[in-house]
Structure 1
Amino acid sequence: MLLLDTNILIDYLRDKPQAIQFIHYTGKFNLGINTIVVLELYNGCLNRAEFAKIKRTLNGFIHFDLNESVAKAAIDISHTFALSHQLSVADTLIAATALVYDLELRTLNLRDFKMIPGLRVSNSLILP
């Protein structure tokens, strides 16, 4: 199971072929998102049409909720890396979700996550 970072879904919503092929080939039932990804997408909406498109797009993905374990993991990550790497709260919670649920994170921004120990992270959207 893979957890998607917001940037991959943004590319998908912008009809970028590599993101579309990756998500269609992998299948939404093998791909997860968390509450932070959903919030970031909705907060980026410019109009009702975009809001509706995002809502339709998110249907079918496995949803991983934020819980106490994710919050504790995020605090640990923040404590370790906030000063040295300027991690955003969103990226911290996305990484914590991947760690707690034992998911591989797919992102287009490896540098935001590669220093976190135990986090499996890749930027590959290449199909086998």
Structure 2
Amino acid sequence: MDKSRFENEHASFWIEGGVVYFVYKANSVVNLEAAKQIVADRIKFQREINYPVYCDIRGMKSADKDARNYLAKEGSSYTKGVAVMVDSPMSKIIGNIYLGLNKPTTPTRLFTDKNEAVEFLKQFV
């Protein structure tokens, strides 16, 4: 596994400035199986070290209820804080459902501006 960058069928990850950048690929459809793979790959990529995570869900087309629940709980493993990047009405809906119903276990906020998201994460580096 490349230490500086990793990619699976759903997303790409890399570490920059002490932050894990996690970007969903265009039109990603996330079910429970995909969510488990995504989280396992991210944790393995991070070598089980806690990091703040920049999570760009703008490419995510949908995530079912089981996937959202899994991502909110187990998906928060090895994270110090999470900035969720949104832009479209659909990604904002997915992000708000995630925050409101699934209640992530680490500090998590939605952003539409990358610089603001990175500033939020700097407090956790």
Shared fold (TM-score greater than 0.5)?
no
Given the two structures, how large is their TM-score scaled by the length of structure 2?
Answer: 0.35
Higher strand share: 2
Greater relative CO, 1 or 2 (CA 8 Å, sep 6+) = 1
